[in-house]
Amino acid sequence: MITRTVSKNPRTTRGDRVNDLQRAGTKVTKATISNTLRRQGLKSCSARRVPLLKPVHVQARLKFAREHLDDPEEDWENVICAVLAEAVTFLGGERALGRLKVDWLTVQSRRVPDVLPRW
């Protein structure tokens, strides 16, 4: 029963399942719910926090991409360097960039880095 209800509505929480079962007269804990689902091959995951793009936003991105398709590469290198400099300034130094593996010599020589920031 637990597996079926979670498969139908994957956004339910363990607490919701516990409350549903308690209303039905069965006493279980959150750990029991987790163990049961794991044994059935269902893994826990975090729900997406950011909504998917709406069609209007997709069209706006495509329009922007088409408008800037023929821009020289130097313009984009300047944008990337500006974004990295802003990140270092506002995030509290180079160490705050954490997983961002950018070779600063490459950036300073105005070449496009291999890894772009993801924030």
Residue 52: inside a domain, yes or no?
A: no
Tell me the pLDDT band of 93, cut-offs 50, 70 and 90: low
**Total number of domains in the chain:** 2
Residue 29, domain extent: 2-39
Q: Do 75 and 119 fall within a single domain?
A: yes
**Contact status, residue 97 vs residue 87, Cβ threshold 8 Å:** yes
Residue 111's CB: how many other CB atoms inside 10 A?
13
pTM, rounded to two decimals: 0.39
Return the pLDDT at 75: 78
Cα 27 from Cα 34, distance rounded (Å): 14
Tell me which H or E stretch contains 37.
Answer: helix 30-39
Cα 36 from Cα 30, distance rounded (Å): 10
